[in-house]
């Protein structure tokens, strides 16, 4: 009899594997006992596989104790299932920890649920607790499992079930003793800890949007740093009674953060935006930078030309047409359809943009203005796709006597009459500006409160909002990650004197990838290789310029996020913990603690590559000297470090690059995200090449 074949896991019955095998120390003790006293319990077989006795077989093999047919018996049910037999035979003689027993019980819960279904003849009703009956006992499935295993509370069992639901494989680790429940909970909580709302959505999507708060102001500084500072909408002075003056003021400024939020929240990625009142450039520039196809219409040649100049200066592509939105059907072909209508219309005569008879802000009566206003939106809504949003930023205005006209309410009535559904409304709290001065002028006598807010009205074209996830997408929380192809991008870095101007195309910079460098062979960065061989050597740098042992740069934009995770950053470099010379996020096994959380800084993901003085992407010299760089390596660099290419170019462009290299192509030019280009150039000064 070839008994040794039963030592192989493939010849073990699935029910035998309910229990973890003995660890090396326990197995050694069993082997010594068998060598001294022989095999006392037979090996039980079922369906040609080992049902009970795996550890005895392993111990015999270790001590070279021969087995014969008399040491094996066949399983006979005798009223119990193979699973019940395994458990009843082993639980009493196993020294399992409480956590291991909880995991084992959790694994048995589905069995008890199935028993419950069989008993009631199908799936239990929602009002009923899933329960089972075994050995004359009934109750909740997790309770029965805990009672059956013994020595463990139902609370522990349900904790393990919850952990497994959040992260598959956790139960198996607990059952075999590799992980305690407390450690597993910390591990899972770190992965599933909710991101701050401001990080996930830009600003918290509440019905009060406060443009004075820190999250909003931080995002506004980000946009200002990219040259998007609001622009202006030239207008005749409309804050006073109408006069013949033609002096222009720059008081109509659009907030880029509001534009970004509306686009991120209410437009599908890569969608088309129609703006029938495109007076200033901000909405178009932000739309282009967030990957949307924007078309704006304005009546004034000089304003359209100004918008185009601003966009060109920032290297983005947005479209403005000079024309009368009252004749939108002649401007926009009937077949054209849009994914979002977003605009900030004139607030009647609050600001007069021109003296043209076609300009609604110059109309003599409010009723005429409203009729003109509704007709424009009637034409625009006809070009909005079904199950899409229309968003307007408006504010109420006073009439000649100082009473509010109810412009906000008239907007709601207008869009309801056009067949849209009223979906969201928010108050946009705006900076005080000159409000403290104005309130002293008008409140003491006339009790007029100074407005420091505007209204954001959101309407839906359709009757079934459950279609929104399918039609527009689910907000996954990465809409504000600059690594996305459609994400917000930075402008290119300033070009040093004597250096060739980078080739900028909209939101990208054209660079070259060295095929020879990209094909250098490496060992793959698998967890096993890191733990057993390299120990995360790339996270250390004994010869770093600061002597700290780390060479992981962090951009100014990333610094608050990385510091919030517990890092200390000096001169743009992550600092090690006191007494160490390695990244503070490196674990004892050499693994990156930030990797599974998706929190790694750009400099860490980008570190295998660098851009040389000719804007050619090559492997960094430091990586060529590492142990994982081998002439007989199995995988080329462009595959090992694919995450870096995704970060640099976006997944679609990175896929094109890899396909070219897979087909033995030579050097290739590609469009690197301007964000990545900027951050590459900003960090190279702090790194050893």
**How far is residue 235 from each of residues 279, 295, 349, measured CA to CA in Å?**
9, 21, 11
pLDDT digits (tens, 9 = 90+) for 608-646: 888 887 889 999 887 887 777 766 667 899 998 888 898
Per-residue pLDDT averaged across 375-386, rounded?
Answer: 96
pLDDT of residue 132: 46
Long-range contacts of 407-416 (CB under 8 A, 24+ apart): 407/347, 407/348, 408/455, 408/457, 410/370, 411/457, 412/457, 414/370, 414/373, 414/374, 414/377, 415/377, 415/381, 415/390, 415/457, 415/459
DSSP 69: G
pLDDT of residue 607: 83
Q: How confident is the model at residue 497 (pLDDT cuts 50, 70, 90)?
A: very low
Does residue 190 surpass a pLDDT of 50? yes
pLDDT of residue 389: 98
pLDDT of residue 250: 36
Give start and end residues of each alpha helix (H) in 64-97: 82-90
Angle at 456 between CA 299 and CA 487, to 5 degrees: 80
Question: For the chain, how far is it from start to end, CA to CA, in angstroms?
Answer: 64
Which of 241-255, 448-462, 583-597 has the lowest average pLDDT? 241-255
pLDDT of residue 26: 77
Q: How confident is the model at residue 540 (pLDDT cuts 50, 70, 90)?
A: low
Which of 221-235, 316-330, 377-391 has the lowest average pLDDT? 221-235
144-153, 368-377, 426-435, 553-562, range with greatest mean pLDDT: 368-377
At what angle are helices 214-225 and 256-266 packed, to 10 degrees? 100
Arithmetic mean of pLDDT over the chain: 80
DSSP 660: H
The more confidently predicted of residues 409 and 437 is: 409
DSSP 537: G
The more confidently predicted of residues 288 and 491 is: 288
Does residue 240 surpass a pLDDT of 60? no
Strand-strand pairing, 43-46 and 49-52: antiparallel
Per-residue pLDDT averaged across 522-550, rounded?
Answer: 64
Which of 120-134, 392-406, 477-491 has the lowest average pLDDT? 477-491
The more confidently predicted of residues 428 and 94 is: 428
pLDDT of residue 121: 58
Domain limits of the chain? 3-192, 206-238+247-471, 503-534+591-684
Measure the CA–CA gap between 185 and 183, rounded to whole angstroms: 5
pTM of this structure = 0.48
Q: How confident is the model at residue 238 (pLDDT cuts 50, 70, 90)?
A: very low
Per-residue pLDDT averaged across 62-81, rounded?
Answer: 86
Does residue 239 surpass a pLDDT of 50? no
Q: How confident is the model at residue 688 (pLDDT cuts 50, 70, 90)?
A: very low
pLDDT of residue 687: 47
**Residue 654 contacts residue 646 (beta carbons within 8 Å):** yes
pLDDT digits (tens, 9 = 90+) for 282-291: 999 999 999 9
**How far is residue 234 from each of residues 245, 253, 255, 475, 580, measured CA to CA in Å?**
14, 10, 16, 36, 59
Measure the CA–CA gap between 316 and 302, rounded to whole angstroms: 20
Does residue 247 surpass a pLDDT of 60? no
- Other CB atoms within 10 Å distance of the CB of residue 528: 8
Residue 576, Cβ density class (10 Å: 0-12 exposed, 13-18 middle, ≥19 buried) = buried
**Residue 48 contacts residue 76 (beta carbons within 8 Å):** no
Residues 6+ apart with CB under 8 A from 92: none
Measure the CA–CA gap between 671 and 510, rounded to whole angstroms: 5
Which overall architecture, per CATH, does domain 206-238+247-471 show?
A: 3-Layer(aba) Sandwich (3.40)
- Other CB atoms within 10 Å distance of the CB of residue 25: 7
Q: How confident is the model at residue 682 (pLDDT cuts 50, 70, 90)?
A: low
pLDDT of residue 252: 52
Residue carrying structure tokens 């959040």: 166
Does residue 225 surpass a pLDDT of 50? yes
Does residue 340 surpass a pLDDT of 70? yes
Spacing of C-alpha 89 from chain mean position: 48
For the chain, give the percent of residues with pLDDT over 70. 78
The DSSP line for 563-580 is HHTT-EEETTEEEPPTT-
Q: How confident is the model at residue 120 (pLDDT cuts 50, 70, 90)?
A: low
For the chain, give the percent of residues with pLDDT over 90. 30
Indicate the length of the chain as a whole number: 689
Measure the CA–CA gap between 266 and 339, rounded to whole angstroms: 9
Residues 6+ apart with CB under 8 A from 122: none
pLDDT of residue 40: 86
Which of 144-148, 449-453, 649-653 has the lowest average pLDDT? 144-148
Beta bridge partners of 509: 504, 672
151-165, 410-424, 670-684, range with greatest mean pLDDT: 410-424
Measure the CA–CA gap between 109 and 139, rounded to whole angstroms: 12
């Amino acid at each position: 009899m070839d008994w040794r074949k039963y030592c192989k896991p493939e010849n073990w019955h699935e029910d035998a594997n309910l229990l973890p095998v003995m660890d090396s120390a326990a197995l050694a003790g069993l082997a010594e006992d068998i060598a001294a006293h022989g095999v006392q319990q037979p090996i039980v077989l079922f369906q040609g596989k080992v049902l009970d006795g795996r550890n005895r077989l392993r111990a015999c093999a270790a001590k070279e104790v021969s087995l014969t047919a008399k040491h094996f018996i066949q399983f006979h049910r005798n009223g119990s299932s193979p699973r019940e037999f395994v458990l009843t035979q082993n639980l009493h003689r196993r020294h399992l920890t409480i956590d291991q027993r909880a995991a084992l019980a959790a694994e048995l819960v589905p069995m008890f649920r199935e028993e419950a279904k069989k008993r009631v003849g199908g799936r239990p009703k929602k009002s009923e607790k899933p329960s089972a009956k075994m050995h004359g006992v009934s109750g909740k499935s997790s309770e029965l499992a805990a009672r059956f295993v013994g020595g463990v509370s139902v609370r522990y069992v349900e904790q393990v079930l919850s952990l497994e639901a959040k992260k598959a494989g956790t139960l198996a680790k607990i059952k075999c003793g590799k992980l305690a429940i407390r450690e597993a909970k910390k591990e899972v909580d770190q992965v599933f800890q909710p991101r701050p709302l401001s990080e996930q959505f830009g600003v918290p999507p509440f019905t009060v949007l406060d443009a004075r708060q820190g999250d909003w102001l931080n995002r506004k500084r980000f946009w200002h740093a990219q040259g998007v500072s609001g622009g202006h909408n030239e207008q005749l002075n409309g804050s006073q009674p109408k006069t013949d003056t033609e002096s222009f003021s720059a008081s109509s400024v659009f907030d880029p953060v509001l534009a970004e939020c509306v686009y991120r929240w209410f437009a599908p990625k890569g969608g088309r935006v129609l703006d029938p009142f495109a007076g200033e450039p901000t909405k178009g520039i932000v739309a282009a930078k967030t990957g949307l196809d924007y078309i704006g219409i304005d009546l004034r040649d000089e304003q359209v030309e100004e918008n185009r100049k601003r966009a060109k200066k920032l290297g983005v592509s947005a479209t403005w047409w000079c024309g009368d939105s009252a004749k939108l059907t002649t401007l926009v072909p009937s077949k054209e359809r849009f994914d979002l209508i977003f605009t900030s219309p004139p607030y009647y005569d609050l600001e007069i943009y021109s003296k043209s008879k076609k300009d609604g802000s110059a109309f003599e009566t409010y009723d005429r203005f409203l009729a003109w206003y509704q007709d424009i939106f009637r034409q625009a809504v006809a070009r909005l796709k079904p199950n899409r949003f229309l968003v307007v930023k408006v504010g109420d205005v006073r009439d000649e006597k100082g009473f509010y006209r109810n412009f906000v309410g008239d907007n709601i009535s207008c869009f309801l009459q056009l067949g849209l559904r009223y979906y969201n409304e928010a108050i946009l709290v705006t900076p005080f500006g000159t409000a403290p001065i104005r309130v002293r002028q008008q409140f003491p006598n006339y009790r007029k409160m100074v407005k420091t807010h505007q209204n954001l009205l959101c309407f839906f074209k359709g009757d079934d909002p459950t279609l929104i996830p399918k039609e527009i997408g689910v907000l996954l929380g990465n809409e504000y990650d600059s690594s996305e192809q459609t994400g917000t991008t930075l402008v290119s870095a300033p070009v040093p004197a004597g250096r060739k101007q980078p080739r900028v195309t909209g939101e990208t910079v054209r660079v070259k990838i060295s095929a020879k460098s990209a094909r250098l062979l490496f060992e793959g960065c698998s967890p096993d290789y890191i733990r057993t061989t390299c120990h995360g050597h790339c996270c250390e740098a004994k010869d770093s310029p600061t002597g700290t042992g780390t060479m992981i740069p962090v951009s100014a934009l990333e610094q608050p996020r990385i510091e919030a995770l517990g890092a200390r950053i000096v001169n743009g470099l992550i600092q090690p913990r006191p007494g160490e010379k390695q990244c503070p996020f490196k674990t004892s096994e050499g693994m990156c603690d930030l990797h599974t959380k998706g929190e790694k800084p750009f400099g860490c993901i980008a570190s295998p590559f660098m851009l040389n003085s000719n804007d050619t992407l090559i492997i960094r010299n430091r990586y060529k000297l590492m142990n994982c760089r081998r002439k007989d390596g199995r995988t080329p660099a462009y595959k090992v470090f694919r995450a870096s290419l995704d970060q640099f170019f976006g997944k679609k462009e990175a896929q094109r690059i890899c396909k070219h290299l897979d087909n033995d192509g030579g050097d290739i030019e590609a469009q690197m995200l301007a964000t990545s280009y900027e951050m590459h150039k900003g960090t190279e000064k702090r790194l050893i090449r």
